[in-house]
């Protein structure tokens, strides 16, 4: 693997900040880690690295966002999360937005081979404590995680935020709005972004068309959009649903 070093992003409160990226724990107190990744080899390699490098006894894994949500509901919140950008049921910032709703104070690290500036910016605005490359060597990975668990915001070397100041704040505020959506509303918004009509959404989710309309009204109110096209633009701006 090629080793890629990581940068420390600006600290929260320096003019821009994520939805929530101020973990309460120090690295030494992170005992329970949840890895969310659909690649078994990646999960196993990460789990082994964490156990060896940090001496952790509890490293949980989940293969999808839905499985992670259910595991958190059933077994409680972990001390830290390592989240793959692209999952079978979530691509883009949706995973962070969803988990941040459940875990407001838990550091979430996004890991991906996608190092596009816009995607990193969207992830950080949505509440990631850091964003790391899948190509990192073991020592760099361990160092990046330790720094994040101690409160730093870490991004890949060479990352240049697309926005700054008020634009960063606006992006983070947009992520907060999306975080208020229920899981069902998030599914409906994803289908809207795919161009589905209400009748198609009703059929796909096995709910009444009137229920779809009620959810859409709530979605529009929560994200402050007047039309479906505006809701799609906002979702695209937040990189909420990346194409498969």
The Cα 79–Cα 54 span in angstroms is: 13
Q: What percent of the chain has pLDDT over 90?
A: 51
pLDDT given for residue 20 in this prediction: 46
pTM: 0.78
CATH code for position 66: 3.40.50.2300
CATH code for position 211: 1.10.10.10
Residues 57 and 92 in one domain: yes
99-123 per-position pLDDT tens digit:
988 899 999 999 998 888 888 988 9
What range defines the domain where residue 108 resides?
Answer: 6-156
Asked whether residue 127 is domain-assigned, the answer is yes
Residues sharing a CB contact under 8 Å with residue 56, sequence separation 6 or more, in sequence order: 30, 31, 32, 33, 50
Residues 118 and 184 in one domain: no
Residues 11 and 129 in one domain: yes
Q: How confident is the model at residue 219 (pLDDT cuts 50, 70, 90)?
A: very high
Answer whether residue 244 shows pLDDT above 70.
no
45-63 per-position pLDDT tens digit:
888 888 888 876 789 999 9
| Cβ(108)–Cβ(23) below 8 Å | no
Residues 128 and 212 in one domain: no
| Cβ(33)–Cβ(82) below 8 Å | yes
Number of folded domains in the chain? 2
Q: DSSP readout, 34-99? A: EEE-S-HHHHHHHHHHHHHHH--SEEEEESSHHHHHHHHHHH---SEEEEESEETTEETTHHHHHH
Burial of 83 (0-12, 13-18, 19+ CB in 10 A): buried
Q: DSSP readout, 193-228? A: HTT--HHHHHHHHT--HHHHHHHHHHHHHHHT-SSH
Residues 138 and 189 in one domain: no
């Amino acid at each position: 693997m090629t080793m890629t070093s990581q940068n420390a992003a600006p600290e929260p409160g320096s003019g821009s900040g994520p939805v929530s990226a101020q973990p309460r724990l120090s690295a030494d107190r992170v005992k329970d880690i949840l890895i969310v990744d659909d690649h078994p080899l990646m999960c196993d390699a990460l789990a082994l690295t964490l156990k060896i490098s940090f001496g952790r006894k509890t490293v949980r894994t989940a293969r999808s966002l839905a499985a992670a949500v259910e595991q958190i509901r059933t077994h409680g919140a972990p001390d830290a999360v390592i989240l793959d950008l692209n999952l079978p049921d979530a691509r883009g910032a949706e995973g962070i937005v969803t988990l941040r709703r459940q875990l407001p104070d838990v550091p979430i690290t996004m890991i991906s081979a996608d190092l596009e500036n816009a995607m990193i910016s969207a992830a950080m605005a949505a509440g990631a404590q850091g964003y790391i490359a899948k190509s990192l060597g073991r020592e760099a990975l361990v160092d990046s995680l330790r720094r994040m668990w101690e409160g730093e915001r870490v991004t890949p070397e060479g990352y240049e935020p697309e926005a700054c100041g008020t634009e960063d704040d606006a992006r983070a505020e947009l992520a907060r709005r999306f975080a208020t959506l229920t899981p069902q509303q998030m599914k409906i918004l994803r289908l809207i972004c795919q161009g589905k009509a209400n009748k198609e959404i009703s059929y796909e989710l096995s709910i009444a068309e009137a229920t779809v309309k009620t959810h859409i009204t709530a979605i529009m109110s929560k994200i402050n959009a007047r039309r479906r096209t505006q809701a799609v633009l906002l979702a695209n701006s937040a990189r909420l649903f990346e194409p498969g």
